[in-house]
Amino acid sequence: MSETSEVTPAFSGPDGLVTAVAQDAVTGEVLMVAHMNREAWEETLSGGRAVYFSRARRRLWRKGEESGNVQNVKAIFVDCDADTVLLKVEQVGGAACHEGYPSCFFRQVTPSGAQIVAARVFDPADVYKKG
Amino acid sequence: MSETSEVTPAFSGPDGLVTAVAQDAVTGEVLMVAHMNREAWEETLSGGRAVYFSRARRRLWRKGEESGNVQNVKAIFVDCDADTVLLKVEQVGGAACHEGYPSCFFRQVTPSGAQIVAARVFDPADVYKKG
């Protein structure tokens, strides 16, 4: 288990993206899923904080740049076909989701519908200033 | 925390897909990331086993159909913008990855390169018959 090799994620599509999963390094909770382009990947590696590529805004997204809830990267993994990366992170502020929940996966799908199964850490209206 | 609502994942793109993350329901290990179309989603909900859509083969992929390593679904979550779902699963056979590792994220990216940090559960050559 000491084999090492070079690995570069398989950035693909018009924006050259891979999928990125952020997981709490301590609890194992899956916090969010986003995307990275090569620049986001390289800045994450060099800077130690999670940087994504926002498909909606078409620009680098330094997680926490607005809310202050940055993600300090503790370990990085790449999957078998190198089109997804997994970050184990320390989530500053205790909430990864812009909706104010610890994880973006705060809704469980049950036979009777979706149910919110987490408590809000912050109110988005207090954190994201309008205009 | 008893609020319930209907939720349908936001299937998008030419194949109508969402991203799907499978996580070990007991250990919290992130096992794999794949995709689902509406049919895969509905069969997963109704059948209780993970069904994905293979982008490479362009057809439903009933996880474990060849290897026997099915995923029994214990809980399902949907993220804030409903374009990613999270399955907490029991991974039969102890290996989610076609490379024979428990997780597809068996390579850690370190300053000196990628390092395999898991042990193989099976040899792919024994499990996937050629031809």
pLDDT tens-digit readout, B72-89: 999 999 999 999 999 999
Answer yes or no: is pLDDT of B43 > 90. yes
> Residue A104: which of B32, B76, B80 has the nearest Cβ?
B80
Band (pLDDT 50/70/90 cuts) for residue A1 is very low
Predicted pLDDT of residue A67: 87
Nearest residue, CB atoms, B30 vs list A30, A78, A106: A30
Query: What is the model's pLDDT at position A111?
Result: 85
Q: Which of B5, B6, B30 sits opposite A23 (nearest CB)?
A: B30
pLDDT given for residue A11 in this prediction: 97
pLDDT band at B127 (very low <50, low <70, confident <90, very high): confident
Banded model confidence at residue B1, pLDDT cuts 50, 70, 90: very low
**Residue A129, pLDDT above cutoff 90:** no
Question: Can you give the C-alpha Rg of chain A in angstroms?
Answer: 16
Which of B:3-62 have CB within 8 Å of A? 3-7, 19, 21, 23, 27-30, 32-33, 45
For A46-65, the pLDDT digits (tens) are 999 999 999 999 999 999 99
B110 neighbourhood in chain A, CB within 8 Å = 4
The share of chain B scoring above pLDDT 90, in percent, equals 84
- What does the pLDDT average to over A35-45? 97
